[in-house]
Amino acid sequence: MIPPRRLFIAALVLGTLAGPGAVPGFAHALLRAAQPAPGSLLPAAPAWVRLTFSETVEPLFCKIKVTDATGKQVDDGSLVSDPADRRRLMIRLKPIPPGEYLVTWFATSTDTHRTQGTFRFQVLK
Amino acid sequence: MPAFDALAVGLTASRTLAVGALFVVFGTLLVATVIADPAAANGSMAEPHRGFAALLRGALLGAILGVGLWTGLQTEAMAPGEMLARAPTVLLQTNFGHLMLLRLGLLAAIGLALAAHRPRPAAALAGLAAALQAAHLHAMAIGHGPSLLLASEVLHVLAAASWLGSLPALLLVVTTARPGAATAAVRRFSVMAFSAVLVIGATAALQAVSLAGEPLSLAATAYGRVCLAKAALFAALLALAVRNQWRLRRGASAAALGGSIGTAIVLAALILALAVILSAMPPPSEA
C-alpha cells in the first residue's frame, strides 16, 4: 500500500500543476456555423438564417436580427430552436431582394453566459 | 481602467455565498456523521455537536439567501431591466431556473431531515445539492448527456465540498471537543482531506486535458492571472494542511491548530470566489 504521505505529495504536485491548466475552453456560446455562411455570396435569397453554437442555448434569451443595407429588419421576428439539438437557432426571412444583409445575434448559453456577434452575407443579382 | 460592474460583483458575491454555504452544510454534516464520532455526541463531542447545529442553521439560511440573490441577479443579467417580469420565465423555462428550483427543494428537504434528527439522509441530500453545482459547469453546457467530463466535474465539486466545506466544523471540533477526541477527529479528517485532494488533482488534470484548447498564456491575460492566483492559494492551503499534519505528528494538541484552520477557512473562501470569477470569464482562446 502506498503511504498516505506519498499519496498526499503526489496530489499536491498534481493539483498544483493541474489547477491553472483546467481551462474551460468552451465557457461561452460561440458561433460555430451559420447558413448563410458569414461573407457568403448567394445566387438566390435564403428563406432562413440558421446558427449553430458551441454550447446549448436558452432560446427565450437569444435573439437574431437580420437587416438590409438601409437598416430595415427583414426577418419575421420569430426565433425557432431545434428541439433535436439545443445548440441550433433559426429565423425565417421575408422575401428579400438582391443586396447586402447584416445578421446580428445575441446568445445566452444554458450556463447563462451571454455572447453576441454580427456577420454579413450578400444576395447576388 | 475597466468600469465597475455592480451586477457582476453582486453575481459573484451571491454565487460565492450560495455555493460556499452549501459546501459548509455538506461539510458540517460529514464532520457530524463521520469525523466527530457521533457516538460521543453526549460526551467528549457534546460541545462540537451543539455548535454543528448552529453552524448548519446559519449555513442553510446563507445558502437560501445566496440562491435567491443569485437567481434575481442572474435574471437581471439575462434580461436587463426586466428582472421581475422575466423571473418566472427564467425559473420555469430555463436550465438555470430548473437547477435553482431543484436546489431550493433540496435545501428545504435538508431542513426537514435535520428537524427530524436524521443527519445521514440530510448529508446525502446535501451531497446531491452540492453535486448540482457541476450542472452549471461546462460539460452540461456542451450538451452531450452523461460523459467522463461530467463525471469528473461532479467528483471535483464533491471533493471540494467535502474538504473546504468541512473546515468550519473542524474548527469547532478542535476548539471545543475534549483533547483526545479532537486529535482523533483531526486524524480522521486528514484521511478524508487527503482523499479529496487526490480527487481534486486528478479531476482537474482530466478537465485540463478535455477542455483546454491551447496552452494558456498565464501572466498575459486577466483570465490567466486569476488562474495563477487560484493555484497559489490552493498551494498555500495544501502547505497549511501539510504543516498541520506535521505538527500533529510532533505531538502538538489539536487545539493548537485552531489558528491555522481559521486561516485555511479564509483561503478556502478566496479560492471559491476566484473559481466563481473564473467561471464567468471567457478564456483567452475566446477573448
Residues of chain B in contact with residue A14, where contact means CB-CB under 8 angstroms, are 198, 201-202, 204-205
Find how far residue A29's CA is from the centre of its chain.
5
Between B6-30 and B119-131, two packed helices, what is the crossing angle to 10 degrees? 150
Residue A72 located in a structural domain:
yes
Residue A22 located in a structural domain:
no
Q: Would you write out chain A's pLDDT as a tens digit for each of its 125 residues?
A: 445 455 555 555 555 444 444 444 445 788 999 999 999 999 999 999 999 998 889 999 999 999 999 999 999 999 999 888 889 999 999 999 999 999 999 999 888 888 999 999 999 98
Secondary structure of B145-168 in the HEC alphabet? CCCHHHHHHHHHHHHHHHHHCCHH
The CATH code of the domain that includes A80 is 2.60.40.1220
- Which residues 44-83 of B have a C-beta within 8 angstroms of A? 74, 77-79
Q: What is the pLDDT of residues B68-89, one digit of tens each?
A: 999 999 999 998 888 889 999 9
List CB contacts of B32: < 8 A, sequence separation 6 or more: B38, B49, B52, B119, B123, B169
Which chain B residue shows the shortest CA-CA distance from A61? B78
> Is the CB of A25 less than 8 angstroms away from the CB of B211?
yes
Grid cell 442572474 in the structure block, residue: B74
| Phi (first) and psi of residue B25, to 5 degrees | -60, -50
- For chain B, give the percent of residues with pLDDT over 70: 88
- For residue B251, what is its C-alpha cell? 505531538
Q: Is B54 helix (H, G, I), strand (E, B) or coil?
A: helix
Q: Which amino acid is at A16?
A: T
Pick from A26, A61, A87: which is nearest to B79 by CB?
Answer: A61
pLDDT at A2: 46
The β-bridge relationship of strands A31-35 and A75-82 is unpaired
Residue A19 located in a structural domain:
no
Pick from A12, A18, A60: which is nearest to B208 by CB?
Answer: A18
Query: Interface pTM (ipTM) of the complex?
Result: 0.72
Residue A24 located in a structural domain:
no
Q: What is the pLDDT of residues B185-244, one digit of tens each?
A: 888 998 898 889 889 888 887 776 665 545 555 667 777 788 888 888 988 988 888 888
| Phi (first) and psi of residue B175, to 5 degrees | -95, -20
Q: Would an 8 Å CB–CB cutoff place A114 in contact with chain B?
A: yes
> Is the CB of B283 less than 8 angstroms away from the CB of A21?
no
Q: Average pLDDT, stretch B129-142?
A: 76
Mutate to test the interface with B, among A6, A61, A88, A106 (most CBs of B within 10 A): A61
Pick from B212, B228, B245: which is nearest to A23 by CB?
Answer: B212
Q: Would an 8 Å CB–CB cutoff place B232 in contact with chain A?
A: no
Grid cell 437557432 in the structure block, residue: A89
Number of domains into which chain A is organized? 1
Distance CA(A29)–CA(A64), nearest Å, equals 14
Grid cell 445566452 in the structure block, residue: A108
Bridge partners for A93 per DSSP: A75
Min Cα distance A49 → chain B (Å) is 22
Domain that holds residue A58: 31-123
Q: Would an 8 Å CB–CB cutoff place A84 in contact with chain B?
A: no
- For residue B80, what is its C-alpha cell? 436587463
Residue A13 located in a structural domain:
no
Distance CA(B41)–CA(B59), nearest Å, equals 21
Mutate to test the interface with B, among A7, A9, A26 (most CBs of B within 10 A): A26
